[in-house]
Amino acid sequence: MHKITTRLVRDNQTIVIEDLTVRNLLKNGRLARAISDAVWSEFRSMLEYKARWYGREVIAVDRWFPSSKLCSHCGTPQNTMPLSVRTWTCGNCGVSHDRDVNAARNILAAGLAVSACGAGVRPQRSTPGGQPATKQEPLRREP
């Protein structure tokens, strides 16, 4: 764990992670052993300590940010998606996504936006009808 945290910090100016609550993740019986064995909180502590030491930045994206449900290509949010859905296609732009890779891309983009703007990353609020409280413009990516 020391080697990987040191390498991450040395190789990157900014590291973006998801602010997960390990206690809540341990409630999933199938994942509990793998998560508890990984010592997530110790990993994060090492990462943050070494980042301070090397003058780097660690940004934690809010755990409620819809990273796996937001199309990383066009920015369109998907309504619902159970954990059993591992791949999906955006209804707006037609791009197919692996759930975890898509989430990683969105977490990175959100964290870098925080780094650039200094603002927090929070989940999009919805009205009682399920519609976003504010209009969200799709992200535009250069090909």
pLDDT at position 23: 60
Domain segments of the chain: what residues? 1-63, 65-120
Give the global pTM.
0.69
Mean pLDDT of the chain: 80
- Tokens 């791949």: give the residue: 87
pLDDT at 39 over 70: yes
Task: Give residue-wise pLDDT tens across range 102-133.
Answer: 999 999 999 988 877 665 544 444 445 445 44
pLDDT at position 28: 61
In angstroms, the Cα distances linking 134 to 28, 58, 81, 100, 123 are: 33, 28, 21, 26, 12
User: For the segment 16-27, what is each residue's pLDDT rounded down to a tens digit?
Assistant: 998 876 665 556
